[in-house]
Structure 1
Amino acid sequence: MSIWWSLHLRREAASVPLARRLLLGTMETAGVDPDTSYDLSLALGEACANAVEHAGEGSAEFRVTAYLDGEKCRIEVADSGPGFPQEPVCAFTRSTAPVDAESGRGLRLIEELADHVHFGNRAGRGGAVVSFDKSVKWRADAPVALTT
């Protein structure tokens, strides 16, 4: 069995904890190890916060999709803003924010918490897409056995 869900959320700060709580609740119910769940929820929070902050004035919402299947969880956050700059993404994910900066570490944090990360732009309609996945560890008492 596999689990997937997709949310269309308003581009406002209150949407970020909502997405995190839904992910954490789903993973807890399925029996995912709490450390894995926490890492993924933190990465999701950073991706959502970026969509809320950078999606642009004309964009009222963003989308979160999560797939939990067997030994992997994949999450995608997409908005309809201006997207990422045309320069290679590694140029701005590898940069370090000043010690006293209030922001600027989100993409780098996602890279550290996930196994595989992709930063890109949506084809055609525009907007940024952040997708990442992580190998899932299951609790010994997992009530749902998810297999591929």
Structure 2
Amino acid sequence: MSIWWSLHLRREAASVPLARRLLLGTMETAGVDPDVSYDLSVALSEACANAVEHGGDAARGRSSEAYRVTAYLDGEKCRIEVTDSGPGFSGGTPTARPARADAEHGRGLCLIRELADHVHIGSKPGRGGTVVSFDKILKWREDAPLIAV
């Protein structure tokens, strides 16, 4: 089985639950274990929230740019990519530092790394912007209609 979809979303807070609901619906329909679906939906929400908050390029007057979410369910793995058009990262890949216990921000990358099996965070070469991609091995419900064979 192979399923993929891609969304082009405005950098607005309302886009985050839309992406999350689409992912959860796709996984439920395919028969993915609910715990795996939940982990991926939380990781997706964090990646989308980062794109909404940090993904614009205000220096170039592009503060209302869109971002893209692509999800691939292929065989026994799900890969999700969130790409924005912000300034990207200078000095290489960002490190996820634990946030203070009373912090209201700064936990997103740590959560994504905890919930996914493999995570890659980087800048788009030459154009700026950030790509957050993560994978997770899928588990299936016993009654899954679309189990990979």
Question: Does TM, normalized by the shorter one, top 0.5?
Answer: yes
- Equivalent residue, structure 2, for 1:19: 19
**In 1, Cα distance between the equivalents of 2:6 and 2:93?**
28
Percent of residue pairs identical: 75
Report the equivalent of 2:128: 126
CA shift digits 1:97-147 (9 cap, x unpaired): 121111001001000000000000011221000000000000010011234
1:47 aligns to what?
A: 47
- Counterpart Cα distance in 1 of 2:89 and 2:119: 14
- Report the residue type matching 2:22 in the other structure: L
The secondary structure found in structure 2 opposite 1:146 is coil
Residues 1:62 and 2:67 are matched in the alignment: yes
**Following the alignment from structure 1 to structure 2, what is the Cα–Cα distance between the partners of residues 85 and 15?**
27
Shift of 1:88: 4.3
Unaligned ranges ≥5, structure 1: none
Q: Which runs of 4+ in 1 moved over 2 A?
A: 87-90
Q: Using the alignment, how far apart are the partners of 1:88 and 1:138 within structure 2?
A: 33
Alignment of 1:1-148 (within 5 A): 1-56=1-56, 57=58, 58-59=62-63, 60-90=65-95, 93=96, 95-147=97-149
Query: Could you state the TM-score of these two structures normalised by the residue count of structure 2?
Result: 0.93
Gaps of 5+ in 2: none
Aligned residues: 144
Alignment partners' CA distance in 2, 1:5 and 1:105: 27
Out of 22-31 and 57-66, give the one that drifted further: 57-66
What secondary structure, in the 3-state scheme, does the structure 2 residue paired with 1:89 have?
Answer: coil
Please tell me the root mean square deviation across aligned C-alpha atoms, in Å.
Answer: 1.1
How much does 1:8 deviate? 0.2
Structure 1-normalised TM-score? 0.93
Which stretch shifts more, 97-106 or 81-90?
81-90
Q: What per-residue deviation string (whole Å, max 9, x for no partner) do you get for residues 6-51 of structure 1?
A: 0000000000000000000000000000000000000000000000
